[in-house]
Amino acid sequence: MKTLWCLHGNLQQPGVWGALTQKLQLKEPDLHIQLVNLWNTLAVDCWTWTESFCQMVQAMTTQHNQPYLLGYSLGGRLAWHALVARPELWAGAVIVSADTGLAHPLQKEQCLSRDRAWAYRFLSEPWDDLLAEWDALPVFCGRPCLTPRLEAEFDRQKIARAFEVYSKGHMDDLTNAIQGLSMPIAYITGRDDQRYCQLGQMLEQQCPTLTHSQIAQAGHRVPWEQPDAFLSTLMRSISQ
């Protein structure tokens, strides 16, 4: 039996995977889905979260169960940590539009400053205005968000906390560690997301077990912008 552990991105809820995983289970009825709520598992840093998460997965994994990991953006960055920390635990992974960390101290400092500014603003500024400005960031390639983000479903204090503790300004550069992983990894990007496509190409060259797939007519939020193409790639990855 296989279990797919799903990690959502920032400003998302676990249910963002719902429509995709329902279709997946129709095609793979023996697949078990675990939707992880990152807001309810906030930790002081990425590695502390990873330790608790991997312990939970280990406790729920039997001899005949194969755990797979799916992570998007922030969830993908946390997934990298889980793969690096406990490589023997995972049968494979699908990472979507996720950074591997920053190498240069100045980049980290600048990123942390930006994330702290977002954290402060999310404590009090109007929700819709913040989301509009967030969606206008270049990383989203000018494409609208296609999933609901109702303010009532979020805790602003937790959002602010996540911006701080999971900032790439605090995150280790995991690039070298990822190159040594031996489980199959599918790295998926939208073709319009040039920054992460370039990262995927680099990772595919340097990591023997990683394959990079670019999905046409999609940007950063590829699972929801091209769900059918994404689902096909996901199914191939966990069926190997």
Query: Rounded distance, CA 69 to CA 89, Å?
Result: 10
Interval 142-149 mean pLDDT? 95
Residue 111, in any domain of the structure? no
Q: Up-side HSE of residue 65: CA atoms within 13 Å toward CB?
A: 15
User: Could you tell me what percent of the chain has a pLDDT over 70?
Assistant: 100
Q: Residue 166: helix, strand or coil by DSSP?
A: coil
CA angle, corner 74, sides to 72 and 76, nearest 5? 45
pLDDT of residue 193: 97
Q: Residue 148: CB partners within 8 Å, gap ≥ 6?
A: none
pLDDT of residue 207: 95
Contact (Cβ atoms closer than 8 angstroms) between residue 7 and residue 70: yes
pLDDT in tens, 47-71: 999 999 999 999 999 888 899 999 9
pLDDT in tens, 187-240: 999 999 999 999 999 999 999 999 999 999 999 999 999 999 999 999 999 986
Interval 109-117 mean pLDDT? 98
Residue 110, in any domain of the structure? no
- Structurally, the chain folds into a number of domains equal to 1
pLDDT of residue 64: 85
DSSP letter string, 77-103: HHHHHHHHH-GGG-SEEEEES------
Across the beta sheet with 210-215, the strand order is 31-36, 2-7, 66-72, 92-96, 185-190, 210-215
Residue 164, in any domain of the structure? no
Query: Is the torsion defined by CA of 227, 195, 172, 109 positive or negative?
Result: negative
Residue 228, in any domain of the structure? yes
Pair of tokens at residue 45: 């840093």
Q: How many CB atoms lie within 10 A of CB 220?
A: 22
Instruction: Check pLDDT > 90 for residue 183.
Output: yes
Which residue, among 124, 114, 134, has the nearest Cα to 11 in the 3D structure?
Answer: 134
pLDDT of residue 62: 86
Which domain range does residue 184 map to? Answer: 2-103+173-238
Residue 125, in any domain of the structure? no
DSSP letter string, 4-25: EEEE--TT--GGGGHHHHHHHH
Residue 224, in any domain of the structure? yes
Residue 205, in any domain of the structure? yes
Instruction: Check pLDDT > 80 for residue 134.
Output: yes
CA angle, corner 182, sides to 174 and 188, nearest 5? 65
Residue 82, in any domain of the structure? yes
Residue 232, domain CATH:
3.40.50.1820
Kindly indicate the confidence band of residue 163, based on its pLDDT and cuts at 50, 70 and 90.
very high
Residue 68, phi then psi, degrees to nearest 5:
-115, 155
